[in-house]
Amino acid sequence: MNEKLCRRLVQERSNAVCEMCSIARAAEVHHRKNRSQGGQWTPSNCLHLCSKCHRYVTTNPQAAREQGWAVPSYADPAKAPVWVVWREFVFLDDHGNYINKDGEAA
């Protein structure tokens, strides 16, 4: 997937609101698996965050891993649950959807 399409799908999923705090406008795309570790421009690998939450994720790696905001280099982001404020723990798919634990679009 190309970066432009990924950014559009992530923005549509978030409605341009931070997926961590739901308070601020989302202005940054965060890669759950770092691009330097093979992370791709896919909606399952990306979160739409405000700058404050993005800074928190990058400076608190243990908390980020526990919440699914970051995944290790060997993990598949599509198979790693992530906590988003108004959905709790969900999976992200590459179509820009939240998927609940039962495998249904949330």
User: Mean pLDDT for each 10-residue chunk of the chain (106 residues)?
Assistant: 96 97 96 94 98 98 96 96 89 96 82
The whole-number pLDDT of residue 1 equals: 87
CA distances from 70 to 90, 102, 104 (A): 14, 22, 23
Question: How far apart (Å, rounded) are the C-alpha atoms in residues 39 and 89?
Answer: 21
Q: What's the number of domains the chain is made of?
A: 1
How much is the pLDDT for 16?
A: 96
Residue 106 lies in a domain: no
Residue 75 lies in a domain: yes
Helix, strand and coil in the chain, % to nearest 5: 35, 20, 45
Task: Give the pLDDT score at 13.
Answer: 97
- Domain span including residue 50: 3-99
Could you tell me if residue 105 is inside a domain? Answer: no
Q: Tell whether 60 is covered by a domain.
A: yes
Q: How far is Cα 5 from Cα 7, in angstroms, rounded to an integer? A: 5
